[in-house]
Amino acid sequence: MKRIWKWGLRLFVVLFIGQLIYIVVLKWVAPPITLTQIGSVLSGRGFHNKNMPSSAVSENARLAVIASEDQLFPDHNGFDWKSIQKAMEYNRKKPGRVRGASTISQQTAKNVFLWQGRSWIRKGLETYFTFMIENIWGKKRILEVYLNVAEMGKGIFGIETAAQTYFNKPAKELTQYEAAAIAAILPNPLKLNVKPMSPYVSSRARAIVQQMNFLRPDRDIQRIIQAN
């Protein structure tokens, strides 16, 4: 038993150091592939992706996902505790439905390091990785990676692939409404479509544009969405 314990401890130390190094490396290097992307291939959706630096992505795209997914992104430490509390209360009152409250940081941690699901083990790991990337990567890098790894349609990963697929243009040239339309499907990219666009997605895109116009002058927002 002592020998097994020692080997188990050594394995834990090796894995811990390995994942820490991997997190640090990803501050500058694009994730090679994620479990979600592997799952997309195995499920038959395919995998189409092209990683792009922030300088090759429209400021509209960065602002659109903040307006759509996480308007407090510049201000929190990775977790929007008020939204989490509201989601927990909602889920307790209506157990047949599930409302999430994930920030962009949490979604990035999940997409890069973990698998899809709602188990407590995965949520615990998500909390750990969110804390790590907030402190090692910083907001700009988190947003850059999120825009490259998020699924934006069936088998469509990243803003560059989405821009080329839906609008036949590079992500650098996305207009405000086009970026908002892509952001509008992020809550459920396997069921919602940019083309053909449903009335729901169109309405949501217009609402996102309004939020973009409201958020754009904010100095904290500007520090994050401006390219390096």
For 207-224, the pLDDT digits (tens) are 999 999 999 999 999 999
For 27-38, the pLDDT digits (tens) are 999 998 888 899
Residue 156 main-chain phi, psi, to 5 deg: -105, 110
Q: Which two tokens stand for residue 154?
A: 């069936």
Q: Which CATH architecture has domain 32-225?
A: Orthogonal Bundle (1.10)
pLDDT at 98: 41
Angle of helix 104-113 relative to helix 139-149, nearest 10 degrees, comes to 60
User: What amino acid occupies position 99?
Assistant: R
Q: Which two tokens stand for residue 137?
A: 């990567």
* pLDDT more than 90, % of the chain: 64
Look at residue 13 and tell me whether its pLDDT is greater than 50: yes
The residue ranges of every structural domain in the chain are 1-30, 32-225
Query: Residue 96 — pLDDT band, cuts 50, 70, 90?
Result: very low
What CA–CA distance (Å, rounded) separates 72 from 85?
15
For 45-67, the pLDDT digits (tens) are 888 888 999 999 999 999 999 99
